[in-house]
Structure 1
């Protein structure tokens, strides 16, 4: 007599049933099976997640790492008969793989390279669990615990690194500031020297132009004066001009009470004029001789009337 059993499968679960030890049937969600009661059923949920227990690690210091595994049963038969306890087997495989991967990294890199650790563990689990009919979808490191002393030392190291970076940045800022100030002073000195150079060049050019203008004016004045002296009675006119300037200069000096005049006979105007004319005649004697040689014969015996008048005034008694 056979008894029949109606079996309803929950969602996301699969079962493998062996009939009398020879026939094996697999049941997946939304399927019903009516068969002999003399059978054994077993299996693992098709989509489950489980926590990996803490994994103490002897790595210079003791690390305690918590992880989460996300698994999927791809073959219920292999999961039921390929391994006695699939969850325990995958968990142990995850722990050993984690130890192997952590042994390749330093303590600082463990905190920085979580993603690479997760990917390496998933690959290692999938390679080993293929014969179990299980596929690891994802592995995530949930938390990493370190001893309090190690945590304090790491915190001190982080703070020291921050202070170091702050000191380096401050020194670089000071260096950049000093360089900028030096560059500014250098540029300022260069610009000041160029400005001074341009000023001196302009000043020298102005002075040269002024000297050239004065020299040209003086040359023109000398040419005009020479032309005037070369004319008839030019020497007499020059003698009269010198006498007037001489008398005017002494008259200005006599106005000041603190001025002493040498020679003292300033009252004798005739004598003073005669001395001035004598000096002028001495200075212009070669030119006068040349002028007389160039003059026509009718004018050789003539003398300037001004000189005759001055000589008669000098011969008369005072």
Structure 2
């Protein structure tokens, strides 16, 4: 019985975690690698490319007690294949759950008006919190994007009514300013006429 070895070619876009006799042995380098059959086994394969993960729709409550439905997209990259393999059971599930809880927590700190005005800073806050926790998993969150925010129908109606009231207010102000300008012009015309008549 001869000694057999297995040749394995690694690439730069993936990382192969090899276990020897059930314990971590090494991470294969890009290029040609030798493995001992039966003794060595590729246990995990981690993509080193940036991946996008959908964060499912969920309910969240703002600081002014408005319930809204929100979802997003998380962009991440594995930076430590060892930690991504052994630091957490299911990295994608763990990071998605972390993104959801972080989003709910961050939304609870701000009012509904700020959710729309400060969407970008909200995304940055979520990324910061996720990166602190996911460092132990060998994952870096590159960015987070809130994709869709849905408000309850009653809140949408109230906001629409507020917008319409604001438009009516601006129209009334413009109309009154127009009447005032016309009155001033008439008064100025009468004053000019009196000056010319007396002069």
Q: Same fold (TM over 0.5)?
A: yes
More helix by share: 1
Counterpart of 1:97 in 2: which secondary structure?
Answer: helix
| Aligned-residue RMSD, C-alpha | 2.5
The structure 2 residue matched to 1:44, chosen from 43, 46, 53, is 46
Provide structure 1 residue ranges, at least 5 long, that are not aligned to the other structure: 197-318
Q: Equivalents in 1 of 2:15, 2:185: separation in Å? A: 75
Number of equivalent positions: 193
Report what 1:12 is aligned to. 13
Displacement after TM superposition at 1:64 (Å): 1.2
Provide structure 2 residue ranges, at least 5 long, that are not aligned to the other structure: none
Instruction: Rate the CA distance shift 1:43–1:173 in 2: closer, same or farther, 3 A.
Output: farther
Displacement after TM superposition at 1:102 (Å): 0.9
* Residues 84-134 of structure 1 deviation map (CA, whole Å, 9 limit, x = unaligned): 211112111111211121112222221222111111111111122122211
The structure 2 residue matched to 1:161, chosen from 159, 166, 171, is 166
User: Taking structure 1 as the reference length, what is the TM-score of the superposition?
Assistant: 0.54
Report what 2:196 is aligned to. 192
* Contact 1:49 1:68 (C-alpha < 8 Å) held by counterparts: yes
Higher relative contact order (CA 8 A, sep 6+): 2
Bigger CA radius of gyration: 1
User: Taking structure 2 as the reference length, what is the TM-score of the superposition?
Assistant: 0.82
More strand by share: 2
Report what 1:31 is aligned to. 31
Q: Is residue 2:77 matched to residue 1:72?
A: yes
Instruction: Rate the CA distance shift 1:23–1:140 in 2: closer, same or farther, 3 A.
Output: closer
Q: Equivalents in 2 of 1:3, 1:178: separation in Å? A: 103
